[in-house]
Chains A and B, each alone.
Chain A
Amino acid sequence: MTQRTVEDRLREEYFLLAPEIKRVLHQLQTDVAYLLLPVTLDLKHHERIHVEARAKDCDSAINALRRREEARQFDEDAPARYTLTSLPDLVGLRVLVFPKSRLEGVHAMVRAKYAEWSSDPVKTGIPPRFRAWKYHGFCSASSRVRAELQIVSMLTGLFWQIEHDAFYKPRDPVLAGAAKKPVIREQTDRVYDAFDGLEDVLERELQRNTEQETG
């Protein structure tokens, strides 16, 4: 009889978890949208708050677990070591905010509601530079499916989507490996810095425009 692989077991686990994954996604998305409703209704014409939520599909979840292993190799002799419930982001929600001056307020609201969740800010580059707030925790809908919340400035968040679509969505391990290569990461960090700078300038110019209109 053929022995089941680690991947076979993880696929089974995914389908057992699937109803809970859906419930967590629905709860988190609805709770955060409701929480941010007052500030969303208060936005000026050029300001934006986007809430984007997703659940990892089965293959993405297994690949994410595999990428946490050195040499991306599951140890088939130790299948009990692997469970999808160890992933911090089976469900993920990202709040994209523009301009930056809105970020702190949005973050404070989200953090107050999810005060128990553990903080794991996104920092990249050398020396590490702050890019986004990130939290992990459980919703009341499930004690097994962990969710991740990110609050990020709009341009950086949109670039992450492009990066994800380019490197990870094709499900090509070579592309995913390329994204982690130091020389590529170094260039990616420069893009983050450029977006930071662009957002700062944009904000300054918008502020100047407001002052001229009111002054």
Chain B
Amino acid sequence: MIALAHRVSGTQMTEMTEKEQLLESCGYRYHFDRMIYFNRSVRRAFSLEFIEGRSQHEIQQLLQIPATNDWAFHFNRPVSDRVKGELTKALEK
């Protein structure tokens, strides 16, 4: 289990910041332009909106899913093939 007891400026971190820490400790980076968390080595991406709506436990379970050759996009709304294609191109640059 990743230690999540970080503090920012002496104040208890919010749950959202803890989720961000969890993702970053698993090799995910925040894409400032797209507002997604992505990890090229496991080909997985989470939208900021998806992360906001899920518990740490749910995110942790998704992080444990083995990687495949295709990108997995965890978004609130279904992702069309066209959007998957565009994002894959952008993330593999």
- Mark interface residues in A190-206 (1 if CB within 8 Å of B CB, else 0): 10000000000000000
Q: Is B93's beta carbon under 8 Å from chain A?
A: no
Interface set, chain A 74-100, CB cutoff 8 A to B: 75-78
Sort chain A's interface into a size bin.
20 to 34
Q: Is A186's beta carbon under 8 Å from chain B?
A: yes
- Could you say which of A72, A77, A174, A187 contacts B8, with CB atoms under 8 Å apart? A187
- Could you say which of B14, B33, B47, B82 contacts A182, with CB atoms under 8 Å apart? B14
Residues of B within 8 A of A78 (CB): 80
> Known contacts A182-B17, A183-B20; is A177 also within 8 Å of B31 by CB?
yes
- Mark interface residues in A138-158 (1 if CB within 8 Å of B CB, else 0): 000000000000000000000
> Known contacts A126-B14, A126-B15, A182-B14; is A173 also within 8 Å of B8 by CB?
no
Q: Which residue from chain A places its CB closest to the CB of B14 in the assembled complex?
A: A126
Interface set, chain B 22-61, CB cutoff 8 A to A: 30-36, 45, 47-50
Q: Is the CB of B16 within 8 A of A180?
A: no
Q: Is the CB of A70 within 8 A of B77?
A: yes
Among A71, A78, A180, the one with the most B-chain Cβ atoms within 10 Å of its Cβ is A71
Interface set, chain B 1-29, CB cutoff 8 A to A: 8-9, 11, 13-17, 19-20
Using CB atoms and an 8 Å cutoff, list the residues of chain B in contact with chain A: 8-9, 11, 13-17, 19-20, 30-36, 45, 47-50, 73, 75-77, 79-83, 86-87
Q: Which 10 residue pairs across A and B have the least CB separation, nearest first? A: A177-B32, A70-B47, A182-B16, A174-B32, A173-B33, A77-B82, A70-B75, A71-B34, A182-B17, A126-B14
Would you list 5 pairs from A and B whose C-beta atoms are within 8 A, ordered by A residue? A70-B36, A72-B34, A72-B35, A73-B83, A75-B83
Known: A71-B75, A126-B14. 9 other contacts (CB 8 A): A71-B34, A71-B36, A71-B45, A75-B82, A76-B86, A177-B31, A181-B30, A182-B19, A187-B9
